[in-house]
Chains A and B, each alone.
Chain A
Amino acid sequence: MKPAPFAYAKARSLEETVALLGEHGDGAKLLAGGQSLIATLNMRLSAPSLLIDINGLRDLAGISQRDGMVQIGALTRHAEVERSEVAAKHAPLIAQAMPHIGHPAIRNRGTFGGSVAFADPAAELPACVLALGGELDITGAKGKRSVKADAFFKGLFETALGPQDVLTAIRVPAATAHSRFGFAELARRHGDYALVGLAASARADGKGLADVRLAYFGVDSTALRARKAEAALAAGSLDKAVEALDGDLDPPDDLQGSSKLKKHLAGVLLRRVAAQLSEARS
């Protein structure tokens, strides 16, 4: 199918973008990489009156490390993150997730911020940002603010972003010698959205783990922390952590699989990811 008609504006600045969003209200949508948005336009699942193309705002792209945080500009393309030495060294969980996102042609266009802001429940990056306890930098009508990942993802395609807000950057704590990470997903075809996936971080504490954060994707309306399993894993029992998932997750049946199947797979992934968390980083 073809998109319904819309107007197109090329934003020249962040201020202009916020102003245009204010002027056009809910009818306006931001166009970043477009790898989800244009598909929904083609399918007529959405029909905005105005697309605001922010691809020219190059200040919003790039990866840097400063003050113990890795900052990823919202417009940074997936392919750029995938090749980034800063990401590989200081945000290895994100580097590990990157090859799972779409396919090469999608990663050439799709943006980090776009994926986080769109908040598809089966997408990798919202779960990674949640697992890392990241922060989201937002510019809106009232200026700049920062929201923690735990308060950012609210529901199905719903985030803390208001109608006049632009996500400008994502910040995650830089890895230290004690940081441990794990990532695994099951998809029907490599690069497809996950049936179930898990991104995790922890801090090595003697022989055990502390500050365990398990962020599942593909099991609920948004990326979701399995807090009971986190506590069990930090207490040292993988078996109890897998059992605890029963209380943490209530995946809906969908076209991809039954609730029962997804719960089972969540446990399988937890065992794989727990093994990664227990390994020392090289």
Chain B
Amino acid sequence: MEEARLATTTLSTMPALTGSVGVPRLAGIGYPTGLPLGRPGDTLGQLAVLRAALATLESIQEPGTRIDLPFEWPDGVKVRTHPKEPPPIVGLLKRKPWLLPRFAAGKVPDS
């Protein structure tokens, strides 16, 4: 995308993982995976996160810079982020745990 002259920034709940693939601008947020902008219904909080994430488009001047945003997930607030049925890969790894190292190594079997 950057090569196509599009300036990008990434808002990530797992900035260490996102940063490892070499994104140009990175805004880390300490929210649960699946809720990068905040709780359902928290319109003002979501807007604040959006504004802060977009601000990194202007503030980051060096490729590969990570800025962790100053938002804290409130203690005691629980929002269910897991799916009702476990993801297929989780079911597979429970049945065949010896495949876990292969999954961790990102070695996809030829279908």
Real binding pair = no
